[in-house]
């Protein structure tokens, strides 16, 4: 049974925001924004990292079907190299919010950093384990990004992105040492630092 709160403030229209892919060596960071209806409930809804691939896929279908509005934004590896991963993650959340077909009145942001938006917001550390809308955004960001990395895997199978999704797993690190970077690797990410970033974001 999910113990997540439905709202932070039930008197305003809230959108939950989250991202996926910050600790990766390759590929985009993907952000999502979700406005859920007041009666939305799914017993399995939680932080995407705590849910199996199969459950995430089921939840994605339910969220996209039932949400009042949802949006996903991709910030590519080149932009990440240009503005750094934190700013790219925040940019992605801004873009996802701006693409919602209904404007929310308040934003619930996963994490502790966010740039001012025209819509008021509040940050919540581990918010994807506290609020349904943030958890829903984490599911959409994760599943859309995973799908994209599985498609890239077909072009670069040596890096096993179908399995590791661009994170610095042992197989990915060995492939990098042996074959070098692809055009989709983040050039600003040093391998050692990226491994630490990945660990910090778990």
Residue 7's alpha-carbon distances to 128, 171, 187, in angstroms, are 12, 41, 39
Domain CATH code at residue 99: 3.30.420.10
For the chain, state the CA radius of gyration. 17
Task: Enumerate residues 6+ apart whose C-beta is below 8 A from 94.
Answer: 115, 117
Tell me, yes or no, whether 190 lies in a domain: no
Tell me, yes or no, whether 160 lies in a domain: no
Which range marks the domain in which residue 44 is found? 14-143
Tell me, yes or no, whether 18 lies in a domain: yes
Q: Which of 2, 29, 15 is nearest to 141 (CA)?
A: 29
Tell me, yes or no, whether 30 lies in a domain: yes
Question: Coil, helix or strand for 29?
Answer: strand
pLDDT of residue 183: 96
Written as tens digits, the pLDDT of the chain (202 aa) is 568 998 899 999 999 999 999 999 999 999 999 999 998 988 889 888 889 999 999 999 999 999 999 999 999 999 999 999 999 999 999 999 999 999 999 999 999 999 999 999 999 999 999 999 999 999 999 999 999 999 999 999 999 999 999 999 999 999 999 999 999 999 987 654 444 434 334 3
Tell me, yes or no, whether 80 lies in a domain: yes
Count the Cβ atoms, other than its own, within 10 Å of residue 64. 15
Total domains present in the chain: 1
Q: Which of 85, 98, 74 is nearest to 15 (CA)?
A: 98
- CB-based contact 159:175 (threshold 8 Å): yes
Tell me, yes or no, whether 172 lies in a domain: no
pLDDT of residue 94: 98
Tell me, yes or no, whether 6 lies in a domain: no
Tell me, yes or no, whether 55 lies in a domain: yes
Q: Which DSSP helix (H) or strand (E) runs through 58?
A: helix 53-66
């Amino acid at each position: 049974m999910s113990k997540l709160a439905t709202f932070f403030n039930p008197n305003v229209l809230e959108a939950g925001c989250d991202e996926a892919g910050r600790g990766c060596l390759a590929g985009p960071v993907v952000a999502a924004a979700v406005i859920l209806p007041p009666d939305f409930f799914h017993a399995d809804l939680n932080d995407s990292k705590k849910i199996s691939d199969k459950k995430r896929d089921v939840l994605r279908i339910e969220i996209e079907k039932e949400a009042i509005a949802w949006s996903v934004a991709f910030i590519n590896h080149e932009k990440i190299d240009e503005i750094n991963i934190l700013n790219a993650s925040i940019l992605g959340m801004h873009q996802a919010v701006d693409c919602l077909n209904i404007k929310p009145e308040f934003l619930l942001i996963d994490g502790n950093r966010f740039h001012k938006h025209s819509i008021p917001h509040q940050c919540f550390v581990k918010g994807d384990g506290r609020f349904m809308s943030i958890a829903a955004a984490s599911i959409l960001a994760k599943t859309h990004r995973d799908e994209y990395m599985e498609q890239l895997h077909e072009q670069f199978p040596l890096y096993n992105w179908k399995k590791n999704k661009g994170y610095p797993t042992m197989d990915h690190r060995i492939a990098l040492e042996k074959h070098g970077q692809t055009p989709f690797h983040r050039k600003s990410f040093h391998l050692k630092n990226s491994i630490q970033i990945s660990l910090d974001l778990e």
